[in-house]
A and B are shown apart, each in its own frame.
Chain A
């Protein structure tokens, strides 16, 4: 079945550092891909999405490109802030079941 694999955390960075969180997927067909963010004590919020190959999703300085050839959707940000500290989830849309398949989440900690 479809699956999502994302890098384990925690990822610990200093403020203004470059961020990459790796995400790869296995799926039949052409799923849509998402990054969600969960701040402490809250539910998940959509950060960005891409619905077809080579699409780039972007929001709040974060970017991710849908790479079909490498089945990847890595999250990047050029300069992280303390306020970016959160848990990040990569997900794909299962075209057969109308469900989202989530990765296990990556905790990001940014220190001043």
Chain B
């Protein structure tokens, strides 16, 4: 069973607030990812990391930022939340491609609503 956790599960917040979405995994995976999932279900990669001190922007431009100071922790921060940030955010991790073919393990997600 994969062990990847996200908190909070649900967050309702006002415009202009700073928020941090937490993601932690206990599997020792070097690679971690953040996806934004729109109401139409489609997944968009917004950030990824291949290890400590490594962060890259994904395929969809996002105003959020991420950090990777510890292997197990990959938080996502929005400095000033806006209604356009309302979405479901999913965190994932994976082993090296040579081990598991890039199979990703997903957390339960954080549903963010910005009023």
What number of residue pairs across chains A and B have CB atoms under 8 A from each other?
54
Q: Mark A44-87, 1 if CB is under 8 A from B, else 0.
A: 11100101000000000000000000000000000000000001
A105 touches B97 (CB 8 A): no
B93 CB to closest chain A CB (Å) equals 12
* B21: min CB distance to chain A, Å: 13
Tell which of A51, A95, A102, A107 has the most Cβ of chain B within 10 Å.
A102
Q: Mark A80-110, 1 if CB is under 8 A from B, else 0.
A: 0000000101000111001110101101000
Chain B residues lying within 8 Å of A42, measured Cβ to Cβ, are 108-109
Give the Cβ gap from B32 to chain A, nearest Cβ, in Å: 11
B90, B102, B108, B109: residue with the most chain A Cβ atoms closer than 10 Å = B102
Q: Among B42, B48, B50, B90, point to the contact of A44 (Cβ < 8 A).
A: B90
Chain A hits for B42, CB < 8 A:
102, 104-105
State which size class the interface on A falls in. Answer: 20 to 34
Query: Within the assembled complex, what's the spacing in Å between the Cα atoms of A95 and B96?
Result: 11
A105 touches B41 (CB 8 A): yes
Question: Is B79's CB within 8 Å of the partner chain A?
Answer: no
B102 (CB) vs chain A CBs: closest residue: A93
Taken together as a complex, chains A and B put the C-alpha atoms of A105 and B31 apart, in Å, by 23
Q: Does A32 contact B (CB under 8 A)?
A: yes
Partner of A98, one of B90, B97, B106, B107: B97
Interchain CA distance A94-B104 in the complex, whole Å: 13
A42 to B10, CA, bound (A): 12
**Chain B minimum-CB-distance residue to A50:** B101
For A98, what are the chain B residues with a Cβ–Cβ distance below 8 Å? Answer: 31, 50, 94, 97, 102
